[in-house]
């Protein structure tokens, strides 16, 4: 039953989708993280309308399926003639940009909740100590609050990255040829469901295993106090793929 | 908007030419799909959690592999596996008895099963954590009182596990509800699919996908509220300082 040449051929074709999958995941996590920082900080800020907007944003993007968001962004704007005639259309008619924007927007919503949790976990005494030693608001954030918040948030953010690697598969429903898109095509060409699914599943598992390793490594580095020469202060953290 | 074209309100309304009833019915299908998938997933997840806690090496390893793999691969692949794999299996079976040709797997059942398999992996993690959170002394005390093992589970440990598991299960429910949108790709006329049909028929994709997003938000918000109530009720017996 096993047919080695077929399996090798499948794997080679699936591998051609890996760059797109990785690219979508990496770029959306990076862009989403910046937006998430903004959303988290604005929610703690003094400008009420901005805080309300951020809260509404998080509510909407976490409460509806990603598939709806992708369809809304990809098919929705075409309804308006004004959009079709504007410069934005050159971006919005491209499935790649729609997928990337949708993925970034949704991970920003989840990410901002994680960062908010990280910021809440920073002990009040340390913030006050920073103020008392004469740090400006900005310095206090840069030197004390944010580094500690990142350390608190990293394990949960690792989960979020894994969720995003999986979520890139939805890009295939708007015609992008990522790993899942290629798997779909292979199935409809060969009708051999099991091997194709198993191989593509293995590709995602391998990518996610690398993410777990990277996050573990990053967490171990952050746990080490600055100036600590010890090389092997490895800390095990439980990064498990999980949804919100 | 061009004169004479129907107003947005008419399109999503309940009058002639309105898609209101269709969308509501589809929302019902979404809820039914998610409920069925979640219920089956909870039972399967309980079995997987039991396997992991059973103390039998092989069984525990298999359960762990299942939950790690399912949570590590895209949900879409699980759906494709069941949908295409199910169709292939049914076609092989029909070829033995009758003619040729493509026979699709029953879409609702396949979708429900896919949701249940995914849900089971997450549920098993939640239930395992909740089980470990219950003090072992509770079961020992119940046994010392002469309760049979099943009675211990039903009356003593079970309810406490559920109390610990409730917040986590609420998250899994939200996840299942949102993932049910993927089943539209397998051809079930739930909310997502119905919105796509309406969007194509009227050339108003923005209107209908936005309406779908709103309806999903409505359902997730309502279930969040219900979940909070359930959590409060479950904590009624807890002593607080």
Render each residue's pLDDT in chain A as its tens digit; 244 residues. 568 889 999 999 999 999 999 999 999 999 999 999 999 999 988 899 999 999 999 999 999 999 999 999 999 998 888 888 888 888 888 999 999 999 999 999 999 999 999 999 999 999 999 999 999 999 999 999 999 999 989 989 999 999 999 999 999 999 999 999 999 999 999 888 999 999 999 999 999 999 999 998 988 887 766 555 444 444 444 444 444 3
Q: Which of B68, B75, B220 sits opposite A63 (nearest CB)?
A: B220
- Mean pLDDT of successive 10-residue segments in chain B (241 residues)? 59 79 94 97 96 93 95 95 87 74 78 96 96 92 93 92 93 96 92 94 92 96 93 80 56
Q: Which of B69, B77, B220 sits opposite A200 (nearest CB)?
A: B77
Residue A11 structure tokens: 């794997």
Would you call B88 and A78 a contact, using CB atoms and an 8 Å cutoff? no
Would you call B205 and A69 a contact, using CB atoms and an 8 Å cutoff? no
For residue A220, the model assigns a pLDDT of 86
Interface membership of B209 toward A (CB under 8 Å): yes
Interface membership of A152 toward B (CB under 8 Å): no
B chain contacts of residue A242, beta-carbon cutoff 8 Å: 71, 122, 125
Q: What helix, strand, coil percent values describe chain A, rounded to 5?
A: 80, 0, 20
A chain contacts of residue B216, beta-carbon cutoff 8 Å: 63-65, 68
Contact present, A122 and A113 (Cβ < 8 Å): no
- Report which DSSP code applies to B157: I
Interface membership of A76 toward B (CB under 8 Å): yes
Q: How far apart are CA A44 and CA A60, in angstroms?
A: 19
Residue B213: closest C-alpha in chain A: A64
B chain contacts of residue A201, beta-carbon cutoff 8 Å: 69, 73, 77
For residue A235, the model assigns a pLDDT of 42
Contact present, A82 and A186 (Cβ < 8 Å): no
pLDDT digits (tens, 9 = 90+) for B230-241: 988 888 877 665
A chain contacts of residue B75, beta-carbon cutoff 8 Å: 166, 169
- Measured between CA atoms, how close is B98 to chain A, in angstroms? 20
Residue A103 structure tokens: 């993925």
B chain contacts of residue A187, beta-carbon cutoff 8 Å: 80, 84
- Measured between CA atoms, how close is B30 to chain A, in angstroms? 12
Interface membership of B25 toward A (CB under 8 Å): no
Interface membership of B221 toward A (CB under 8 Å): yes
- Measured between CA atoms, how close is B55 to chain A, in angstroms? 21
Q: What angle do CA B73, A239, A30 make, to 5 degrees?
A: 75
- Phi and psi torsions of A176, nearest 5°: -75, 145
Residue B189 structure tokens: 């006329």
Would you call A72 and B209 a contact, using CB atoms and an 8 Å cutoff? yes
Q: Which of B47, B41, B82 has the alpha carbon at shortest distance from B188?
A: B82
For residue B5, the model assigns a pLDDT of 57
Q: Which residues contact B138 (CB under 8 A, 6 or more apart)?
A: B156, B157, B160
For residue B124, the model assigns a pLDDT of 96
CB contacts < 8 A, A to B, total 125
Alpha helices in A142-192 (DSSP H): 146-167, 179-190
């Amino acid at each position: 039953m096993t047919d080695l040449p077929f399996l090798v051929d499948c794997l080679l074709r699936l591998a051609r989708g890996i760059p797109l999958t990785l690219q979508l995941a990496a770029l959306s996590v990076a862009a989403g993280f910046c937006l998430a920082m903004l959303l988290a900080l604005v929610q703690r800020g003094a400008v009420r309308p901005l805080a309300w907007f951020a809260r509404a944003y998080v509510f909407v993007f976490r409460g509806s399926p990603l598939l709806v968001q992708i369809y809304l962004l990809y098919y929705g704007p075409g309804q308006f003639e004004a959009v079709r005639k504007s410069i934005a259309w050159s971006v919005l008619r491209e499935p790649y940009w729609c997928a990337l924007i949708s993925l970034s927007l949704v991970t920003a919503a989840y990410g901002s909740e994680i960062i908010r949790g990280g910021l809440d976990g920073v002990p009040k005494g340390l913030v006050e100590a920073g103020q008392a030693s004469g740090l400006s608001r900005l310095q206090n954030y840069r030197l004390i609050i944010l580094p500690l918040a990142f350390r608190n948030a990293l394990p949960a953010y690792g989960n979020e990255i894994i969720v995003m690697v999986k979520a890139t598969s939805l890009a295939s429903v708007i015609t992008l040829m990522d790993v899942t898109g290629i798997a779909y095509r292979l199935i409809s060409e060969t009708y051999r469901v099991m091997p194709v699914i198993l191989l593509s599943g293995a590709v995602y598992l391998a990518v996610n295993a690398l993410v777990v390793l990277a996050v573990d490594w990053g967490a171990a580095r952050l746990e080490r106090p600055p100036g600590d020469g010890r090389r092997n202060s490895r800390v095990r953290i439980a990064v498990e793929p999980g949804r919100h | 908007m061009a004169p004479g074209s129907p107003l947005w309100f008419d399109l999503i309304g309940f009058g002639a030419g309105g898609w209101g009833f269709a969308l509501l019915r589809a929302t019902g299908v979404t809820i039914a799909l998610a409920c069925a998938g979640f219920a089956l997933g909870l039972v399967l997840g309980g079995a997987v959690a039991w396997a992991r806690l059973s103390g039998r090496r092989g069984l525990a390893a298999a359960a762990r592999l299942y939950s790690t793999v399912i949570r590590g691969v895209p949900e879409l692949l699980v759906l494709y596996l069941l949908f295409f794999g199910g169709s292939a299996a049914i076609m092989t079976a029909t070829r033995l008895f009758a003619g040729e040709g493509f026979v699709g797997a029953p879409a609702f059942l396949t979708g429900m099963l896919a949701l249940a398999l995914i849900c089971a992996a997450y549920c098993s993690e939640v239930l395992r954590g909740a089980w470990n959170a219950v003090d072992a002394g509770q079961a020992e005390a119940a046994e010392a009182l002469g309760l049979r093992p099943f009675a211990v589970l039903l009356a003593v440990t079970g309810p406490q596990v559920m109390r610990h598991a409730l917040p986590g299960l609420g998250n899994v429910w939200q996840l299942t509800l949102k993932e049910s949108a993927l089943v539209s790709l397998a051809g079930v006329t739930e909310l997502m699919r119905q919105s796509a049909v309406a969007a194509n028929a009227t050339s108003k994709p923005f209107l209908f996908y936005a309406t779908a997003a709103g309806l999903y938000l409505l359902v997730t918000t309502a279930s969040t509220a219900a979940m909070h109530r359930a959590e409060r009720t479950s904590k009624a017996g807890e002593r607080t300082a």
